[in-house]
Chains A and B, each alone.
Chain A
Amino acid sequence: MRIVVGIKWVPNTQAVRFDPETGTLIRKGVPSIVNPHDLPAVELSLRLRDVVGGEVIAISMAPPPAAKGLELVLGMGVDRAILVTDRVYAGADTLATSYVLAKAIQKIDSEIGKVDLIVFGQETIDSTTAHIPAQVASWLELPYVYYVKEATVVDGGRVRVVRELEEYLEEYELELPAVLGVAVRAFKPRPVTLSMKLRSKIERRLIVWTNDDLKLDPRCTGLRGSPTIVAKTIDMPEVPRRKEVFKPRDAKEAARWIVAKMLEDDKLRELLYRSLWGVRG
């Protein structure tokens, strides 16, 4: 079985700080990481391979530094990695990104071997759209499902998954090939081992494809292939709040102040009367 897993190399958004003086984001020196929500997708892919055999191929469309991210997942045990990179892919929105990924997956299918399963993380921490899995499924016209928290291969030709919605737990069976979006935190990723990393370096398991390989029409990729445009950005409007801060002498005083404030506030008094005495305030 051949599984392709998509990963993205993203700025560690938790480390991006805000400069209140200039009102801008301080991105300088912010390290990049493999999108944390992709690691469960990699882990699931490896587990399925470990059971049924075959190979896991990680893929990422990104500028060259993303090779580091692919090296990391090779270190987790991924069999090969493909970095899809070209200037004409820059500035892509999710439609243009999914296009390149879908075409690269088709190339894997025709040149490396049949692709049975395509696995993605649920969403990225820098764009959080959760578009890519469905969009890739649309380009390839494959069945797909999101929020997967369990998956097993049955009879070699199908995958059985459990996924969770707001109020339902659902079990589906999908014919292969299919696309899965893996739920955030669904599988604990195995650690990267140095020996795996070294092995993949020596054996050159990371390959790079550019548009010379994919030969895509530049009108379909990057900025030109992206229908969405950021027209402008503004500061988030502030919500008016009372901003009263109390430094109490002790916890008792803190508690008393909170209760007193609630009783004084029309909006909260009513609520307190109802919850304490079941009457209107």
Chain B
Amino acid sequence: MSSAIDCSKLCPEWPCEQPSEFKNVWVVIEADESGLSEASLQMLTPGRRIADKLGEKLVGVLVGYRVSHLAEDVIKYGADEVIVVDSEALKTYYPRVYALTIVELARKYKPSVIFIAGTKRGREFAPYIANTLKAGITADCTDFDVDVESRDVLLIRPPFAAILLAYIKTPFRRPQIGTARPNVFPVPARDESRKGEIIFENVANISEDRMKLVSRRRVSRGEVGIEKAEVIVSGGKGVGGPEGFKYLEELAEILGGTIGASRKAVDAGWISEDRQVGQTGKSVKPILYIAVGISGAAQHMIGVREATRIIAINIDPEAPILSQADYSVIGDYREVIPALIEELKALKEKGPEAVEEYIKWLREIEGKR
């Protein structure tokens, strides 16, 4: 156990509390009309693991309006207990109302750990929670662990150079708060037989009278988001301009996939920001990721760690991506992609009978090398 904290050494603006007063792992569960947020269910995965290592309970904290019926689901996804605040005051999302609700609950129950999904809302309200509790917070974690002896949680995140991982802890403060971007963890398997306690809480008098929602509308993006895509054809600086993405779109269409991009392509304004893959973009987990004109910077590659296979097309035989992909072709994408589209169309025409021919050809050329 950590030794007792000497309160005279702490900032007097912080409440003086001993880490030993805190217990259990919380996951903040976001929900709206369309149900539970998948990103927050994903946080139950590391939450379960850390709770088990600590021998403590995993608690889902579900706050919103007309969300009570979803509490059972949170248990089926792995929580031991769910604390529900179902209130009309939470009907409209305001960052401070949301944050202060969690703060109130945390003051009452004293959780040792709070995990929050790094959705855009999560990234907005999480630091307000941490700051109000004067607790530490670590953003964009890619993993969590725990030092069982001191009971300190290790919040693991890449610093700006994504070739390193920093292990961060807050030994003198509780709760220990961390966020992770969507898709860094899988949604836990649902177990219909799980049982757990559901606690209803009322949080009095938290309202936002200095801010009001004027309008809210869904923006239709048309295409499938990259988070869910099985195939992503992703373009980088090497694609050279917005026209380049046209080739990639055609390839993606044949493969039933969608378009992704590197940050340089987004910065150049060739493609919208919601397509960006990487440390400051999205983490994706397609079966196939095709990186076109992308050099393979660590900050990009961290977003595709969960991709089953990576194919790279790059003109530079020295490009770092070549040693981080499964199959790489050296060549100008402006030639390779149209040829690939042709080849796939031809194969489609010929039907599965033609497959053997390809394998035979592969054996031949591999024999020659």
Bind each other: yes
Cβ of B74 within 8 Å of any chain A Cβ, yes or no, is: no
Cα of A176 to Cα of B329 in the assembled complex, Å: 56
Q: Would A144 and B342 count as touching, CB distance under 8 A?
A: no
Determine the chain B residues whose CB is within 8 A of the CB of A254 once the complex forms: 313, 329, 331, 335-336, 339-340
Chain A residues 98-126 with CB under 8 Å of chain B are 98-99, 123, 125-126
Once the chains bind, are B96 and A229 in contact (CB under 8 Å)? no
Is the CB–CB distance between B160 and A171 below 8 Å? no
Instruction: Place the interface of chain B in its size category.
Output: 35 or more
Tell me if A232 counts as interface (CB < 8 A to partner B). Answer: yes
Chain B residues positioned under 8 Å from A245 (CB to CB): 317, 322, 328-330
Pair A231/B168 contact, Cβ less than 8 Å: yes
A267 lies within 8 A of chain B by Cβ: yes
- The total of interchain contacts (Cβ-Cβ below 8 angstroms) comes to 299
Partner of B128, one of A138, A219, A255: A138
Q: Does B215 contact A (CB under 8 A)?
A: yes
B119 is an interface residue with CB less than 8 A from chain A: yes
Interface residues on A, range: 35 or more
Q: Which residues of B contact A139 (CB under 8 A)?
A: 131
Q: Is B329 within 8 A of A171, CB to CB?
A: no
Residues of B within 8 A of A248 (CB): 329-331
Q: Are the C-beta atoms of A143 and B210 separated by less than 8 Å?
A: yes
Selected interface stretch from B44-52, B106-114, B170-178 = B170-178
- Residue A88 at the chain B interface, CB threshold 8 Å: no
Is A170 a contact partner of B215 (Cβ separation < 8 A)? Answer: yes
Q: Which residue of the partner chain, among B134, B288, B331, contacts A227 with CB atoms under 8 Å?
A: B134
Q: Which of A18, A185, A264, A276 contacts B347 (CB 8 A)?
A: A276
Chain A residues, Cβ within 8 Å of B161: 13, 16, 18, 25
Whether the Cβ atoms of A185 and B136 lie closer than 8 Å is: no
- Find out whether the CB atom of B273 lies under 8 angstroms from the CB atom of A219: no
Q: Does B338 contact A (CB under 8 A)?
A: yes
Q: Is the CB of A128 within 8 A of B139?
A: yes
Which of B163, B219, B310, B325 contacts A18, CB < 8 Å?
B163
- C-alpha gap A134/B217 in the complex (Å): 24
Q: Contact flags (1/0) for B285-302 with A, using CB distance below 8 Å? A: 001100000000010001
Residue contact B213 to A172, C-beta cutoff 8 Å: yes
Chain A 247-281, CB-CB to B under 8 Å as 1, else 0, gives 11011101111111111110110011111110100
Q: Is the CB of B95 within 8 A of A134?
A: yes
B165 — which chain A residues lie within 8 A by C-beta? 233-237
Q: Can you report 14 A-B residue pairs in the complex whose CB atoms are below 8 A from each other?
A: A18-B161, A25-B161, A128-B160, A130-B139, A145-B95, A169-B216, A219-B10, A227-B134, A243-B326, A244-B328, A248-B329, A254-B335, A274-B256, A275-B256
3 closest A-B pairs (Cβ-Cβ)? A227-B136, A220-B11, A251-B335
